[in-house]
Amino acid sequence: MSGILLEERPFDGVALLRLNRPTVLNALNLDLRHALADAFHRLDADAQVRAIVLAGGERAFCAGADLTEYVDATPTEIMERRMDRLWDAIGACRKPVIAAVRGHALGGGCELAMHADILVAGRGARFGQPEVKLGIMPGGGATQRLTQAVGKFAALHILLRGEPFSADAALAMGLASEVVDDEQVEARALQLAGELAALPVQALRLIKEAVLEGMSSGLQSGLRFERRSFQTLFATQDKHEGMRARLEKRAPNFIGS
């Protein structure tokens, strides 16, 4: 694992990825973007990993793109970087992803956090999409993901003004899942990851896929996917174990099949 992206296995079933460019507030350069994509591809294929926590540092989750790689870039150079493939490696991960956000989550950093499924923010976290103040616009999905998360009017208020906003504001508008004290962010994210890692793998995967299908293709497509997935889960051993355990008033022992 690259020194700019650290990986830990704090306990069974959980992987922790940590952005590690503290001198530039974890700004996303191409090396870090490729490291993230490679890590998510690998962890998605690793049967031992059931949930992923994505974290930064105390001062910043991620302060955005590394502008030194953009200031003189041409349109052709930007296209050839194929950033969509690097973002998609995270967005297409089939396993639950939890963002543990402390400090700055701005621009590409806010977009990175929005690729997660659950977002735990520290009270001192600051979110925002300041691209308009640089003469550009978001390019990592914010115009779509932010709008889906908070609605048109709140999203455009953020995107058009480029002003940062607090964790409490993020929670109120539906961008954050939880807000906790700064020093509890990673502990809470890991606690949630541990809870998810103990649940049925296939049910978690299909729930996530159903939500994303509906968001990308619309209500009717999402409902069709949900019905098929619901039916499919009746063939799993974990379905039998979960229902038997509930009837027998005991804790289930899910095996992931």
Q: Which residues are catalytic?
A: 65, 108, 111, 131
Q: By the 8 A CB rule, do 83 and 91 touch?
A: no
Dig out the tokens for 227 from the structure. 């019905």
**Whether 121 contacts 185, CB under 8 Å:** yes
Angle, vertex CA 120, rays to CA 116 and CA 126, nearest 5 = 95
The arrangement of strands across the sheet holding 118-122 comes to 5-11, 14-19, 51-55, 97-101, 118-122, 178-180
d(CA 117, CA 209): 11
DSSP class of 52: E
- For the record, the structure tokens of 244 come out as 């038997």
DSSP string across 91-133: HT-SS-EEEEE-BEEETHHHHHHHTSSEEEEETT-EEE-GGGG
